[in-house]
Structure 1
């Protein structure tokens, strides 16, 4: 008989990962209202924005204002792909920073025009400097299961990359099924191995719902011992460098699953759905996650 955790932490990634590649430009005030509503739902860890070049990601051009105007509740992450991004984030007052590196060289080159090794070399001094300033550092490991260009990723390659980040002193590893191709057995095996190999670091699972396997993978990860999950309200998100990858697993669906298992998150599903109603008019596709559809049509419950 497997043992499930009593408590799970949800890291909301909708405001950054969910909106970053949205075709319609979402106004700053609407993003802030979305963030505030998610906080009111009980979410205390959140990816707020990304300090990337507005030329490449226009949606994130208001990163400084988002950080400065968001209420400081819990831990708030910002993505910083390079030294300039780090400097801008710290200047804006960010206290938690995230870096992304793909296990797959091909994916990494498509994403930031560097191999995995080159990326690690570039961000090593940045991480060391941030840790010297007592800044929380999150390492996001992309293509931890499959790559759209290279196919299946070897588990040992993921573990070795994670170990390199741990040696640099990062506080958290967010390990991602970037194209949503992992199955529950693969999820269980990888996270069990990571938790056994790296017992003294926060390990978070990040699943995309491309093939509607995310909830099954989350349940398998729970059995492996994972207690932290990245999710996106409304299932928002996607990756331009991962052909066919759809949004992240929906926060409201994950919280409902955990509630049904008696696992405490401190998050109110209905209030998450209320937050989704605020952002839905500003995104380019309809939101059709399970719990959100029930929220909008209570007579079907």
Structure 2
């Protein structure tokens, strides 16, 4: 299969990337980051989370963040919503898309939310119905699609089952997420080959973490399966609280460098994303883990010093 000529990059740094930071990131900093990312041309930004501050204190200012950002015309601003109360907050905040989630691993589901996969997804039925009634897009995220910290290998059939359940809820887009970054290119081929038989290829996305350094290889494998939507996190922000050693989502700068090299259109300005990655890394005192980002920053500084 020929590689896609264009892809949609969903920037998840402001939500998935920042949610695990121990020190609270100032609301103004989050707004500034999102505004920089909007200006860079992202078609979709995961901006906030409407969950209980008791569970995710870093996302307690979701309403303030959504109220403060400068929205770029045509861009989708997504928020995570675990229940109807969260959906009401998302609706009030004028979110364009809500994100619901379920694990492909039974062990992960039981360990973290104390219920089965089927029960966890059924809980989203009223949320999905409310979203449809209000014309809000729904994205379903299938965590642990390529491996689980508790049970290890996750059967492909389990991923297919969750995709079918999300499809039944009316999800507009479904993410295949390698939550702990253990996936390899061969497994990516196997999973996407299976899930594209039960859900439209053009509405599936790849969400890869880079724990074992395989994220870019996995993205290329997904491209070979015709997948044209990918998630990435500026400066490689993030991690997974349920998996020790799990690094952040693949760095956006690295994904853009790959796409540019392949001649695949993204509509995103890499240099502006590099600057945004430098901004947020400095703002929160965290090392920038994007290899392309650091290389391009070093190159720019070297050139500036010589001029």
Query: TM-score under structure 2 normalisation?
Result: 0.94
Superposition pairs for residues 86-165 of structure 1, below 5 Å? 86-165=87-166
Secondary structure in structure 2 of the residue aligned to 1:153: coil
Q: More deviation in 262-271 or 100-109?
A: 100-109
Q: More deviation in 117-126 or 230-239?
A: 117-126
CA distance in 2, matches of 1:200, 1:293: 33
Q: Which position in structure 1 is the counterpart of 2:61?
A: 62
- CA shift at 1:201, angstroms? 6.0
CA distance in 2, matches of 1:158, 1:253: 27
Are 2:247 and 1:240 aligned? no
- CA shift at 1:42, angstroms? 1.1
Counting matched residue pairs gives: 299
Question: Contact 2:202/2:228 (CA < 8 Å) preserved in 1?
Answer: no
CA distance in 2, matches of 1:114, 1:22: 27
CA distance in 2, matches of 1:200, 1:291: 29
Is there any run of 5+ residues in structure 1 with no aligned partner, and where? none
Q: More deviation in 108-117 or 290-299?
A: 108-117
Q: Which position in structure 2 is the counterpart of 1:23?
A: 22
CA distance in 2, matches of 1:201, 1:140: 15
Q: Which position in structure 1 is the counterpart of 2:187?
A: 186
Are 2:35 and 1:36 aligned? yes
CA distance in 1, matches of 2:208, 2:279: 24
Question: Contact 2:137/2:171 (CA < 8 Å) preserved in 1?
Answer: yes
CA distance in 1, matches of 2:111, 2:57: 19
CA distance in 1, matches of 2:33, 2:113: 29
CA distance 1:112–1:282, shift in 2 (3 Å): farther
CA distance in 2, matches of 1:124, 1:281: 41
- CA shift at 1:293, angstroms? 1.2
- CA shift at 1:284, angstroms? 4.8
CA distance in 1, matches of 2:30, 2:200: 36
- CA shift at 1:87, angstroms? 1.4
Q: Which position in structure 1 is the counterpart of 2:256?
A: 255
Q: Give the alignment's Cα RMSD to 1 decimal.
A: 1.5
Q: Which position in structure 2 is the counterpart of 1:45?
A: 44
Q: More deviation in 11-20 or 83-92?
A: 83-92
CA distance in 2, matches of 1:284, 1:106: 35
Are 2:283 and 1:282 aligned? yes
Question: Contact 1:23/1:283 (CA < 8 Å) preserved in 2?
Answer: no
Question: Contact 1:110/1:241 (CA < 8 Å) preserved in 2?
Answer: no
CA distance in 2, matches of 1:143, 1:200: 19
CA distance in 1, matches of 2:11, 2:285: 20
Secondary structure in structure 1 of the residue aligned to 2:2: coil
Query: TM-score under structure 1 normalisation?
Result: 0.95
Q: More deviation in 9-18 or 269-278?
A: 269-278
Q: Which position in structure 1 is the counterpart of 2:174?
A: 173
CA distance 1:282–1:24, shift in 2 (3 Å): farther
Q: Which position in structure 1 is the counterpart of 2:212?
A: 211
Per-residue CA distance 1:77-116 (angstroms, 9 max, x = gap): 1001112111111122222100111111222233333321
Is there any run of 5+ residues in structure 2 with no aligned partner, and where? none
